DNA sequence: AGATTTTACGGGCGTCGTAACGATT
DNA sequence: AATCGTTACGACGCCCGTAAAATCT
């Protein structure tokens, strides 16, 4: 199994259209069509159900898509990590989303710097759910992120857990109460709080916390945040109210499972050693 | 990054000899030499320190070797899993080493068969430490195996924990005692028991339990075994003695981390539901 | 009729193999 | 002298691109 046909396959599977996929790959349609047929022949499996005006994945194709993404990520990561291993002054790259650190980034870095195995740290700021991709593709050595996330190929340790607060407009009727319950906020089935939080952000096309808070201030939405946020983002127009029955927010440090780096291990030590504090 | 040069690289890194690696790959030396140079150029990194009569990996090469193995395994696994996904009557392949099941294989299979999500099971018997390779390369859907093992790319749950017993010749002086301590048996630093067990087997080139017991009977060695063994392998010439201070043997069920198969999930349920019993 | 995938054909680039060279033990 | 990695060179094959055909909406 070669990697190039697999890249072609992923492109087609994403576009579900040979012409567009070919364009994205920078080749013409015919070679692409043949490459896919050859791949199907090699595997002895039909990957796409094609009619002239529609392309759909077969069950085998679905499986290959998820597996192929993993394999191709690993391939990219291999090259990138080898390159970085040749760096005479290797930096430790830590992926963090702005403000998604429970205020612990500085103490973690301070504790890390004191470790003899530590290295200079390069922060890689990233957005929603990018952490895991950066780790899997070899762009980052470690990441600081909130659960839940896809643990595939990663190891992780909990850094801290926080209670949640609801953020709502100061003018909102619920703001008059001192404390809220989960049902007041999510209005959905319980136990899906993490999904709820992600969906709120995704639905409004919000990419960072200040934007989200702006929408809250305008009364457009109510959301749940870790309790470390209010102290760092006081807003006159926003009321933060505890939600005692909401499950806690879990901040974790994650790293590629196969990592054998002592520098990464030291960072994990530094991050987890704050749990007691 | 293409997969073929990476396969070539792994071959050279394993053989540390271009000629032998080329032979193993079924090509001549020159193309291999050029492929490696090209790969080094692409990465901008030196992978081997070559003098005419010695080839050694650079640090970057070491990193690439471990990463490349993972990526190539994932690539193979992708093809194999896609093939198997096209099977209209898919079987669940369970990797087990003979006698390394704490006697739980039958109950697990029985419980599994009762699950509506279950499928016909095909047992894949394997040897020392092969389980993880079978999982990673897509040959097996799940494995039943003792800790410790390399968890990279795998998820696992504990099935059961067992106390350990020492197996020694009935004629051995220690056999007169009712109970032994760890120090009597390992004679090495403590806390390395799992390593000790593996090494005993590796050192004597033993591939299965009956062979190992034969050596024990002859008085050639003393080893630690899970306490489920004596009942299934009574031997007049062998004394089994409890070792209370030995850490327990942990039997686990493992599966590829990215698995979304309900059939695999059902097997895991069946295996872990025996914990209480 | 329009859009899309697939077959047909010709050209180029990559990779391979044989042969010769250089270097080290 | 022998062994091993590398360079040189000629050839084969795979993959690509353009053009045309087939098929479904």
pTM for the predicted model, two decimal places: 0.87
- Rounded to an integer, the average pLDDT of A73-77 is 95
What pLDDT score does B187 carry?
62
CA–CA separation, B223 vs B120, rounded Å?
36
- Tokens representing A147 are 């659960």
Please enumerate residues of B whose Cβ is less than 8 A from a Cβ of A: 1-4, 6, 42-47, 58-64, 66-68, 70-71, 74-79, 81-83, 85-86, 138, 151-153, 257-258, 260
- Rounded to an integer, the average pLDDT of B14-41 is 92
Question: Is A202 or B96 the better-scoring residue by pLDDT?
Answer: B96
What pLDDT score does B207 carry?
75
Determine the 3-state secondary structure of B46 from DSSP: coil
CA–CA separation, B143 vs B150, rounded Å?
13
Local confidence band at A195 (pLDDT 50, 70, 90 cut-offs)? low
- Rounded to an integer, the average pLDDT of A160-165 is 93
Is it the case that residue A191 has pLDDT exceeding 60?
no
CA–CA separation, A24 vs A20, rounded Å?
6
**Gap from A254 CA to chain B (nearest CA, Å):** 14
Is it the case that residue A47 has pLDDT exceeding 60?
yes
CA–CA separation, A6 vs A10, rounded Å?
6
User: Percent of chain A, pLDDT > 90?
Assistant: 62
User: Percent of chain B, pLDDT > 90?
Assistant: 62
- State the Cα torsion A87-A92-A95-A99 to the nearest 10°: -140
- Rounded to an integer, the average pLDDT of A23-50 is 92
- Tokens representing A267 are 């960072």
CA–CA separation, B160 vs B129, rounded Å?
19
Reported as a single tens digit per residue, the pLDDT across B163-218 is 999 988 888 888 888 888 887 777 655 545 666 667 777 777 777 888 888 888 88
For chain A, list the domains and their CATH numbers. 3-84 (1.10.10.10), 89-161+250-272 (3.40.190.10), 164-247 (3.40.190.10)
- Contact criterion met (CB below 8 Å) for B204 and B218: no
Angle at B269 between CA B113 and CA B137, to 5 degrees: 90
Is it the case that residue B226 has pLDDT exceeding 70?
yes
Residue located via tokens 């859907």: B141
Reported as a single tens digit per residue, the pLDDT across B47-62 is 999 887 888 999 999 9
- Rounded to an integer, the average pLDDT of B245-265 is 93
- The mean pLDDT of chain A is 90
Region of poorest pLDDT, from A172-181, A253-262, B265-274: A172-181
Residues 108-167 of A with CB under 7 A from strand D: none
Local confidence band at A199 (pLDDT 50, 70, 90 cut-offs)? confident
Reported as a single tens digit per residue, the pLDDT across A115-141 is 999 999 999 999 888 999 999 999 999
Local confidence band at B276 (pLDDT 50, 70, 90 cut-offs)? low
Determine the 3-state secondary structure of B61 from DSSP: helix
What pLDDT score does A246 carry?
85
Q: Phi and psi at residue A276, in whole multiples of 5°?
A: -70, -30
What pLDDT score does B231 carry?
87
Local confidence band at B83 (pLDDT 50, 70, 90 cut-offs)? very high
Crossing angle of helices A105-113 and A262-272, in 10° steps, is 130
Q: Do B64 and A46 touch (CB under 8 A)?
A: no
Region of poorest pLDDT, from A51-60, A84-93, B196-205, B213-222: B196-205
User: Percent of chain B, pLDDT > 70?
Assistant: 95
What pLDDT score does A176 carry?
87
What pLDDT score does A223 carry?
87
Round to a whole number and report the distance in Å from the CA of A96 to the C1' of C14. Answer: 42
Local confidence band at B220 (pLDDT 50, 70, 90 cut-offs)? confident
Nucleotides of D under 7 A from a protein CB: 3-9, 15-19, 22-25
């Amino acid at each position: 199994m070669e990697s190039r046909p697999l890249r072609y396959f992923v492109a087609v599977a994403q576009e579900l259209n040979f012409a567009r996929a070919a364009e994205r790959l920078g080749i013409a349609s015919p070679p692409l069509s043949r490459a896919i047929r050859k791949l199907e022949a090699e595997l002895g499996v039909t990957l796409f159900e094609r009619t002239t005006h529609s392309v759909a994945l077969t069950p085998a194709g679905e499986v290959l898509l998820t597996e192929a993404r993993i394999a191709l990520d690993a391939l990219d990561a291999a090259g990138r990590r080898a390159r970085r291993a040749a760096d005479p002054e290797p930096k430790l790259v830590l992926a963090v989303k702005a403000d998604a650190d429970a205020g612990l980034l500085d103490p973690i870095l301070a504790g890390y710097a004191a470790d003899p195995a530590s290295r200079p740290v390069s922060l890689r700021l990233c957005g929603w759910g990018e952490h895991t991709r950066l780790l899997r593709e070899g762009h980052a050595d470690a990441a600081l992120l909130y659960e839940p996330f896809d643990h595939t190929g990663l190891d992780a340790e909990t850094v801290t857990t926080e209670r949640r607060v609801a953020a709502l407009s100061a003018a909102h009727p619920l703001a008059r109460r001192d404390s809220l319950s989960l049902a007041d906020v999510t209005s959905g089935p319980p136990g899906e709080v993490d999904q709820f939080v992600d969906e709120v952000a995704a639905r409004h096309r919000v990419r960072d916390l200040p934007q989200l808070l702006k929408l809250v201030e305008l009364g457009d939405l109510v959301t749940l945040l870790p309790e470390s946020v209010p102290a760092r983002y006081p807003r006159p127009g926003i009321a933060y109210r505890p939600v005692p029955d909401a499950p806690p927010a879990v901040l974790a440090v994650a790293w590629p499972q196969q990592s054998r780096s002592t520098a990464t291990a030291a960072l994990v030590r530094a991050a987890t050693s704050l749990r007691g504090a």
